[in-house]
Amino acid sequence: MQHLDRVSVFIEVVRREGFSPAARYLGMTGSAVSKQVQSLERQLGIQLLTRTTRKVTLTEAGQLYFERARQALDDLSDVEAELQDRQHQPTGTLKINAPMAFGTQFLVGPLAQFAARYPQLILDVDFDDRQVDMVAEGYDLSVRIGALRDSTLKARCLASCPIWLCASPELIERLGCPEQPDDLKGVPGIGYSQVMAQTEWRYQCKGASGSLVFPVAFRANSAAMMREACLAGLGIALLPIFAVQDDVNQGRLLRLFPDYTTIPERHIYAVYPPGRYLSNKVRLLIDWLVETCAELPFSPESEN
C-alpha cells in the first residue's frame, strides 16, 4: 500500500506541476510530498523528476513511468467503481434516444419491460430521427442505424439492417419491370433528408459495384413518411428492412433487384459516450437491447 501511495503522490506532483500545488491538493506538507517521491525514486533506482527552484520536469524515464502508472491507477479505480456499482440496483435517470420508426415499432415494449425490471431507474426516452449530440445533450445511450462513421463515441452492434430498394406495384406497372439498375435512370426517388439532398443507390452484386442517382420527387426525415410516399407510388425509395418487410411479404411493395446488396451495409448500434468506466445501468440496458434485437423478425433469407 505504501508503494501505491507513493505512486499516487508522484502522479499528483506531475499533474499539479509542482510539490507545493500537489501538497495543497493532497492535504500534505511540501516536505512530506517530496519525501514520498524521493522514496519512490530510491525504490525504483531511477530519477523520475528534474527539480529546479521554479519547477519540476519529468525525465525520460519519469515520463514513461507517469503514463503507465497513471493508466494503471485509473484502471484500478474503474474496477473498484464497477464492483461497487454492480452490488446495487441501478438508480437515477437513463436518457435514451432512438429513431422514431424503429423505436415505436420495436423498442416501446422492451424499454417498458426494462423500466419495470429496475423500478429505481427513471427512463427518459426520446424517439427522434435527428442525430443527437450525445455529450452536449446529456444522452446516456442512443440507438443508431447506418454505416457507423468514425467517431469518438463507443458502439456495440445489435443487429444487421439491410436497406432495400422498393417501389409500389402501380409505379412498376407504369414504368415497366426493370431488368438492370440502369433501366431505372430518370425514375423519381424518395429521399431521406437527414442524410443527403439526393437519392443515391450504391449497390454491389457478385463482386461488381455501381451507383444510381434518382431525381428527388419527395423528401422526408423519417422512414415512416418515406414508406407512405413509396406506397402512394410517388417514387422509388431506399428503406430499412424493418420498415418494409411486411409490405413486401404482403405484396404492397416490390423489392427491386433482391440479388443486389445496398452498400455500405447498415447495422443497428447501441452508441454511448466515451469514458473509462461504463456505468452499470448503461451496461444493463445494452445487454437488454442485445437480447431484444436477437428477436427481431428479420429472416436470414432477407439479408442478401
DSSP secondary structure, 201-258, as one string:
EEEEETTEEEEEEEPEEEEESSHHHHHHHHHTTS-EEEEEHHHHHHHHHHTSSEES-T
CA distance 114 to 286: 11
What would the pLDDT profile of 222-271 be if each residue is shown by its tens digit?
888 999 999 999 999 999 999 999 999 999 999 999 999 999 999 999 99
| Residues 253, 192 share a domain | yes
Question: Which residue, of 24, 56, 86, is where some domain finishes?
Answer: 86
| Residues 278, 139 share a domain | yes
Q: What is the pTM of this model?
A: 0.68
| Residues 274, 254 share a domain | no
| Residues 138, 119 share a domain | yes
Please state the domain count of the chain.
Answer: 3
What would the pLDDT profile of 105-152 be if each residue is shown by its tens digit?
999 999 999 999 999 999 999 999 888 888 889 999 999 998 776 577
Question: Which residue, of 60, 86, 112, is where some domain finishes?
Answer: 86
Burial 220-252 (b: 16+ CB within 10 A, else e): bebbbbbbebbbeebbbbbbbbbbbbebbeeee
- Segments forming the whole domain that contains residue 96: 92-161+266-302
| Residues 174, 212 share a domain | yes
Q: Find the CATH number of the domain harbouring 148.
A: 3.40.190.10
